[in-house]
């Protein structure tokens, strides 16, 4: 029995969120469209492991020592055993098990995975991203039929359309009759007499195409979107699987995001911080005015309401834009400027001769702004 925990790289005590996170990481790593077709079996193994461990009932069954993906699995010694099924797996339809009909030529396609990188403004307002994917698409030459001349496949003369052939094999119990897929028609029961040269009778070809992805306003980083029927086209032109898009948000030079709020930092001269000032700043909504209050302290914030990120599922609501104010203290002063600063400090900050020391920020006992400026200038 496969160790599904080891396949996903998690402990047996892993939570549902840890299993989901590990699956998303492994599925991206081993998806054939990203890692290459040689990882197809590994990708299937990862999906099988997640299918079991993400289902509480299947996971409980697996933890008890029974693989839910084994059709003959039983929850304990008291389970029912179908001897016909058991013998059928070894000896074919002679015991009533293992008999199958022809395999349909048309099969559903698998899901595909891709990623899209968007800027922060697109995440705020929503928009469209274009993603290039390399996967199986419908063969345009034969329209998915797999036939070059458009003719319907004919019945296989070897298996008479059954898709399976019987043959005698020697076993420890003697000669036994078993069944196996017909080699000539590969189990389909029909033969394409003139296969399409483009897809070799498969009805699909690997190709690259660009897909437009609608990005919802307020989307978070590393969120996954699902595009139904935009994935891999199945064998015989079968219905396409789904396309999953992992969205990555690129860092922005002006703004940082915290949930639905945006943050930015501005630097202002000390005179603006002391006397107050109004200045324009660029936002995703265009130019806006920030009012610096008189007596503004370093790292004080000014909040611009409703200029943040759109709240998902609440398109009429947005977070805030929080402006952090950094005060620029001049490093050099001429004699006149120094004299003015010293005179102001003497009259305004004379009570700051002694300080109180605490383990937390406090508004009492702090040096005044100009005292800090005087200290900075030595």
Query: How much of the chain, in percent, has pLDDT values that exceed 70?
Result: 83
- Cα–Cα distance measured from residue 378 to residue 374, given in angstroms and rounded to the nearest whole number: 6
Q: Please say if the pLDDT value at position 333 is more than 90.
A: no
What is the dotted CATH code of the domain comprising 90-251?
Answer: 2.60.260.20
199 is in an annotated binding site: yes
pLDDT tens-digit series, residues 293-326: 999 988 899 999 999 999 987 778 999 999 999 9
139 is in an annotated binding site: yes
- CA distance readout (Å), 162 to 99, 157, 192, 232, 237: 10, 10, 15, 28, 22
Instruction: Answer with the residue of higher pLDDT: 132 or 99.
Output: 132
Residues in the chain: 378
**Two tokens, residue 245:** 């898009």
Task: Report DSSP letters for 360-372, one per residue.
Answer: S--STTPPPHHHH
264 is in an annotated binding site: no
Q: Please say if the pLDDT value at position 24 is more than 60.
A: yes
- Give me the pLDDT at residue 1, please: 65
In sequence order, the β-bridge partners of residue 323 are 264, 302
- Give me the pLDDT at residue 356, please: 57
296 is in an annotated binding site: no
CATH architecture assignment, domain 256-376: Sandwich (2.60)
- Cα–Cα distance measured from residue 328 to residue 351, given in angstroms and rounded to the nearest whole number: 24
Burial tier of 120 (Cβ tally within 10 Å: 0-12, 13-18, 19+): buried
- Give me the pLDDT at residue 352, please: 57
CB atoms within 10 A of CB 57: 9
**Two tokens, residue 369:** 């702004």
185 is in an annotated binding site: yes
- Give me the pLDDT at residue 368, please: 44
- Give me the pLDDT at residue 361, please: 55
Q: Please say if the pLDDT value at position 138 is more than 60.
A: yes
Distance between terminal CA atoms of the chain?
Answer: 74
**Two tokens, residue 296:** 């503004």
Query: How much of the chain, in percent, has pLDDT values that exceed 90?
Result: 46
**Which residues in the chain are classed under CATH 2.60.260.20?**
90-251, 256-376
- Give me the pLDDT at residue 35, please: 74
Q: Please say if the pLDDT value at position 188 is more than 70.
A: yes
**Which residues in the chain are classed under CATH 1.10.287.110?**
1-71
- 15-24: long-range contacts (C-beta < 8 A, 24 or more apart)? 16/54, 19/50, 19/53, 19/54, 20/50, 20/54, 23/49, 23/50, 23/54, 24/224, 24/246
- Cα–Cα distance measured from residue 76 to residue 79, given in angstroms and rounded to the nearest whole number: 6
pTM confidence score: 0.62
Instruction: Answer with the residue of higher pLDDT: 370 or 345.
Output: 345
Radius of gyration, CA atoms only, the chain: 35
pLDDT bucket at 362, cuts 50 / 70 / 90:
low
The answer as to CATH 1.10.287.110 being correct for domain 1-71 is yes
């Amino acid at each position: 029995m496969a160790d599904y925990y080891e396949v996903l790289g998690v402990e047996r005590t892993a939570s549902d969120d840890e299993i989901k996170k590990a699956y998303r990481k492994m599925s991206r790593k081993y998806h054939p469209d990203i890692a290459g077709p040689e990882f197809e079996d590994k990708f299937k193994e990862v999906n099988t492991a997640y299918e079991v461990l993400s289902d509480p009932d299947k996971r409980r069954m697996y933890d008890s020592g029974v693989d839910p993906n084994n059709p003959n699995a039983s929850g304990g010694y008291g389970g029912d055993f179908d001897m016909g099924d058991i013998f059928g797996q070894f000896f074919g339809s002679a015991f009533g098990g293992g008999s199958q009909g022809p395999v349909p030529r048309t099969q559903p396609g698998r899901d595909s995975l891709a990623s899209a990188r968007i800027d922060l403004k697109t995440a705020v307002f929503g928009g469209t991203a274009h993603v290039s994917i390399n996967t199986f698409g419908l063969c345009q030459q034969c329209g998915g039929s797999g036939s070059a001349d458009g003719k319907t496949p004919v019945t296989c003369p070897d298996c008479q359309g059954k898709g399976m052939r019987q043959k005698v094999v020697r076993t420890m119990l003697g000669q036994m009759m078993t069944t196996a897929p017909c080699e000539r028609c590969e189990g389909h029961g029909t033969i394409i007499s003139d296969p399409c040269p483009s897809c070799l009778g498969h009805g699909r070809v690997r190709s690259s195409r660009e897909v437009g992805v609608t990005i919802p306003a307020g989307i978070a980083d590393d969120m996954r979107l699902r595009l139904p029927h935009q994935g891999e086209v199945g064998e015989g032109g079968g219905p396409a699987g789904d396309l999953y898009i992992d969205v990555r948000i690129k860092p922005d030079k002006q703004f940082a995001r915290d949930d639905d709020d945006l943050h930015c930092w501005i630097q202002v001269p000390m005179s603006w911080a002391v006397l107050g000032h109004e200045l324009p700043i660029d936002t995703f909504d265009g130019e806006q005015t920030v009012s610096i209050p008189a007596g503004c302290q370093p790292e004080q914030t000014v909040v611009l309401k409703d200029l943040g990120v759109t709240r998902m599922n609440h398109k009429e609501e947005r977070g805030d834009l929080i402006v952090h104010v950094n005060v620029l203290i001049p490093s050099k002063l001429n004699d006149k400027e120094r004299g003015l600063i010293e005179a102001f400090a003497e009259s305004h900050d004379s009570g700051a001769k002694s300080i109180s020391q605490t383990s937390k920020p406090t508004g009492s006992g702090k040096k005044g702004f100009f005292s800090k400026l005087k200290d900075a200038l030595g």
